[in-house]
């Protein structure tokens, strides 16, 4: 009960504090009673969070965890998994920007085959980035013309710049985190949002099959089929011998029996899956039409 109360208090106070900060920076005076009550309320919430975090930390230590593991356990229990996942998107996105600048890729070991998928979405992201920058300039000009307070203009400018960086981070994540085929696994990714790993031994077949009406970037159908699309498109289908568990973007788990995903060029995916034999059985050659090329165990 106290854990739920701490979570509720934290997520109620943080937006209120942010709103108050924006108003103060913008030069909007707040009533004296509001300011008088705000400080004790924030102090009480921080004290509650500290008490709950310490209890969780101490409980983990009693279970035999190390101090570092106990800190992680306390953080994991106090902050909901969906919030942690959303926060991780920002961290991975900024890391992807650094990798993009250094012309490096994440998770592509020596000898593995990288399967890019960013070419299809790059024009759209470039358009979004252009619109975001244009909106930033237009908003600043409009607010100056209306005589808006400098504090309000700074807040909106920061938010607009954050939006532009977020678009760049999404773009960079798509470039630096491609799908990967290695001797051990097939790794299907969607930028910083999804990283689905499928052991090679669990793959039954792979084929080219074009679909142009996928719903969203990542979706799991009722029959356990995972779709990882780019611009509503997929062009590779991998069937599994047995279901595997993947973690969805917001932390939920799903058991999947097949994966549909998009590559800029699907042929290297099939060639990589054919050339790298599984430990127990090889992968036969593909046959059929170009849009139904299949790789199956011998």
pLDDT tens string 88-110 = 999 999 999 999 999 999 999 99
- The model's pLDDT over 114-123, given as tens digits with 9 standing for 90+, comes to 999 999 999 9
- Quick count: other Cβ atoms within 10 Å of Cβ 169? 22
Backbone φ, ψ for residue 221 (5° rounding)? -80, 170
Q: Is the pLDDT of residue 285 over 80?
A: no
Helix (H, G, I), strand (E, B) or coil at 216: coil
pLDDT of residue 258: 96
- Name the packing angle between helices 122-145 and 150-176 (round to 10°): 170
Alpha-carbon gap, residue 91 to 95, rounded angstroms: 6
What confidence tier does 25 reach under pLDDT thresholds 50, 70, 90?
low
pLDDT of residue 38: 64
């Amino acid at each position: 009960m106290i854990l739920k109360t701490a979570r509720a208090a934290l997520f109620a106070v943080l937006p209120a504090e942010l709103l108050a900060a924006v108003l103060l920076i913008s030069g909007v005076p707040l009533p004296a009673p509001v300011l008088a009550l705000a400080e004790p309320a924030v102090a009480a919430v921080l004290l509650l969070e500290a008490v709950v975090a310490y209890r969780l930390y101490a409980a983990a230590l009693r279970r035999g965890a190390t101090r570092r593991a106990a800190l992680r356990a306390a953080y994991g229990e106090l902050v909901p998994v969906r919030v942690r996942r959303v926060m991780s998107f920002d961290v991975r996105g900024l890391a992807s920007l650094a990798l993009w600048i250094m012309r490096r890729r994440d998770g592509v070991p020596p000898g593995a085959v990288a399967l890019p998928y960013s070419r299809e979405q790059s024009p759209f992201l470039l358009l979004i980035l252009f619109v975001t920058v244009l909106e930033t300039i237009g908003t600043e000009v409009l607010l100056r013309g209306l005589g808006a307070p400098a504090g309000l203009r700074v807040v909106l400018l920061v938010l607009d710049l954050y939006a532009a960086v977020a678009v760049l981070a999404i773009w960079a994540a798509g470039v630096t985190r491609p799908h990967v085929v290695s001797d051990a696994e097939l790794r299907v990714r969607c930028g910083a949002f999804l990283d689905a790993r499928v052991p090679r031994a669990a793959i039954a077949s792979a084929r080219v099959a074009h679909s142009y009406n996928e719903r969203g970037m990542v979706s799991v159908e009722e029959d356990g089929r995972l779709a990882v699309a780019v611009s509503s498109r997929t062009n590779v289908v991998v069937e599994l011998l047995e279901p595997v568990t993947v973690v969805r973007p917001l932390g939920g788990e799903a058991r999947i029996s097949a994966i549909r995903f998009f590559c800029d060029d699907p042929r290297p995916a099939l060639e990589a899956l054919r050339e790298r034999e599984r430990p127990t059985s090889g992968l036969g050659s593909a046959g059929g039409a170009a849009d139904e090329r299949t790789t199956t165990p011998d």
